[in-house]
Amino acid sequence: MDTEKTEHPIAEARANLSELLAAARLLRRVYFLTSRGKPQAAIVPAELGDAVVAAGGVDAAVELLNRAAKK
């Protein structure tokens, strides 16, 4: 499995989940899981998931990041 690429079909990711999880944790990478070429979900380092929860959820985190990017 190529953990260098950021997009993985869900079936491929399922077969190699432990590798993706280890790379996300150890290498701090983000992997997008796709279905028919369209992103459906992501595997992210736990710290990023914690930050999303602390921000008030996905929508709040996206809003905060968008505001920060405009500065």
pTM greater than the 0.85 cutoff: no
Instruction: Provide the pLDDT confidence category of residue 2 given band limits of 50, 70 and 90.
Output: confident
- What's the pLDDT band for 54 if we cut at 50, 70, 90? very high
- pLDDT given at position 7: 95
Q: How far is CA 13 from CA 23, 27, 31, 44, 65, in A?
A: 12, 17, 9, 13, 27
Averaged pLDDT of the chain = 94
Q: Please give the CATH architecture assigned to the domain spanning 7-70.
A: 3-Layer(aba) Sandwich (3.40)
**pLDDT above 80 (res 37):** yes
- pLDDT recorded at residue 71: 82
* Structural domain boundaries in the chain: 7-70
Residue 7's CB: how many other CB atoms inside 10 A? 14
> Coil, strand or helix: which one is 40?
strand
> In the predicted model, is pLDDT for residue 1 greater than 80?
no
Question: For residue 3, what are its two tokens?
Answer: 């953990």
Amino acid, single-letter form, for residue 54: A
